[in-house]
Amino acid sequence: MLLIYCPYCEEERSELEFRHGGDAHIARPTNIADITDEEFAEFFFLRDNPKGLIFERWRHIHGCGRFFNAARDTVSDKFYASYKAGEPKPDLSAVHPATEKTVETYEATEGTAK
């Protein structure tokens, strides 16, 4: 279970208090009725689903109730930042190591087993 820092409550709380809200920093087009089907699919359905650093939304649903954003590594599940909605993506180049070096459970330990 994750420990998640809510930037509004300013404390770490258990994952049970939070609801995941999908990818962060996806802006709904202001001219939604005019965009093409391709653009709509891109906005609504297509996702990077990265193995490594992800920027995602969380909602502190059983706490303050507010939405905020976080940066997490999807291999280690470690959080690198949590920040208020509306704030820009933080620059994590200094703290987040390249994805190549992250350790993955079974591949790292058993990947070369025959």
Partner 1 sequence: MRKFSVFAVAREALRGHKGWEPQWVSPEPRKEYDVIIVGGGGHGLGAAYYLAKEHGITNVAVIEKGWLGGGNTGRNTTIIRSNYLYDESMDIYEHSLKLWEGLSQELNYNVMYSPRGVMMLSHNIHDRQSFKRHIHANRLHGIDNEWLTPEQAKDFCPPLDISATARYPINGAALQRRGGTARHDAVAWGYARAASDRGVHIIQNCEVKGIRRGPNGEVTGVETSRGFIGAKKIAVSASGHNSVIMSMADVRVPLHSVPLQALVSEPMKPIFPCVVMSNTVHAYISQSDKGELVIGAGTDQYNSYSQTGGLQIITHTLDAICELFPMFRRVKMMRQWGGITDNTPDRSAIQGVTPVPNLFVNCGWGTGGFKATPGSAHLFAHLIAKGEPHKLASGLTLDRFRTGRLIDEAAAAAVAH
Of these, 34, 49, 88, 93, which contacts partner 1 (CB under 8 A)? Answer: 49
Instruction: Give min distance, CB of 5 to Zn ion, in A.
Output: 9
Instruction: Residue 8: name its binding partner from Zn ion, partner 1, none (Cβ under 5 to 8 Å by kind).
Output: Zn ion
Exposure letters 19-51 (e unless 16+ CB within 10 A, then b): eeeeebeeeeeeeeeeeeeeeeeeeeeeeeeee
Instruction: Give min distance, CB of 72 to partner 1, in A.
Output: 8
The answer to whether 48 contacts partner 1 (rule: CB under 8 A) is: yes
The answer to whether 63 contacts Zn ion (rule: CB under 5 A) is: yes
Instruction: Give min distance, CB of 103 to partner 1, in A.
Output: 10
Q: Which residues contact 83 (CB under 8 A, 6 or more apart)?
A: 7, 68, 69, 70, 90
Instruction: Residue 98: name its binding partner from partner 1, Zn ion, none (Cβ under 5 to 8 Å by kind).
Output: none
User: 113, exposed or middle or buried, with CB in 10 Å at 0-12, 13-18, 19+?
Assistant: exposed
Interface residue list for Zn ion (CB under 5 A)? 6, 8-9, 60, 63-64
